Amino acid sequence: MLRVSDLTKTYKTGDKALKGVNFTIPAGQVVGLIGPSGSGKSTLIRCINRLVEPSSGKVYLGDLDVTAMPRGRLRTARRRIGMIFQEYALVERLTVMENVLSGRLGYVPFWRSFLRRYPPAYVSNAFALLDRVGLIDHADKRADALSGGQRQRVGIARALEQDPELLLIDEPTASLDPRTSRQIMRLILEICRERQLPAIINIHDVLLAQAFVERIIGLRAGEIVFDGPPDALDTDALTRIYGEEDWAAMRKQADDDASDDAESAAQAREAASRLARIA
């Protein structure tokens, strides 16, 4: 479980990026974090793993007070938090397997990681994860030989290899086509359910978020202005989050996506009709 309490962040420039943010995410729940550019989404995610130091407030991961950890012990806290990135952040010249095993860097002594010697239990776990994300036949391939969707699957397996208690996921589909985006979202949701992992997905695509996640948090100017199920995200809520927005363009995008992918057509059409109802 993740609990964020009265979190604020004011940068040295005076920008108030977070103004007292409160929420709790129970085990297994995936939250879509939406909001316009500059609303504080990245700052929130970075404050949770303390890549950015919060100005005040608390972050609890289970019983662990992440905000109270001395800087020297952050490595221990961070290995409990898996990160998945928009641009995958793989080491291109290493194999898929080596990339997945790098998820264990926080657990092994430096010499082992330098020599890339990992305990057999970590290796068998990595094989099981590659099987789970559908890449078992690609374990020996170099990362730079993979498609975008396959790379993101490696990123997911790497995050899981570190046996996290929380996933922080930053724009996981921004570099992918609509069909692959839906496959990746589906995979993330399934895995979080299976492992009872709480997760936050920073996501620009409102329709994609609505189609998959069970809860959406909307940020505007550093404050939570919406927190609820996707169906409650009506015109009022969207206006509160984004101000006036070009709903027609978003709806057209949803229609295009629906015709693009027969398998996911029903889901995308559902998203389009939901938008039509609120537009």
Q: Which residues bind ligand ATP (CB under 6 A)?
A: 11, 13, 15, 17, 35, 37-43
The nearest distance, CB 16 to ligand ATP, in angstroms, is 8
Q: Which is nearer to ligand ATP, 35 or 103 (CB)?
A: 35
Nearest-approach distance from CB 168 to ligand ATP, in angstroms: 13
As a whole number of angstroms, the distance between CA 96 and CA 149 comes to: 13
**Region class of 180: left (phi > 0), else alpha (psi between -120 and 50), else beta:** alpha
Element (H, E) at 100: helix 96-101
CA 135 to chain centre: 20
Query: Whats the size of the chain, residue-wise?
Result: 279
Q: How far is the CB of 185 from ligand ATP (least distance, A)?
A: 18
Smaller CB distance to ligand ATP: residue 37 or 140?
37
Strand partners, 199: 30, 167
Q: 104 or 220, CB closer to ligand ATP?
A: 220
Sign of torsion, CA 263 89 107 60? negative
Considering beta carbons, is residue 20 or 38 the nearer one to ligand ATP? 38
Element (H, E) at 160: helix 148-161
Least distance to ligand ATP, CB of residue 242, Å: 12
d(C-alpha 203, C-alpha 37), whole Å: 11
191 or 199: CB nearest ligand ATP? 199
Task: Give the nearest distance from C-beta 123 to ligand ATP in angstroms.
Answer: 36
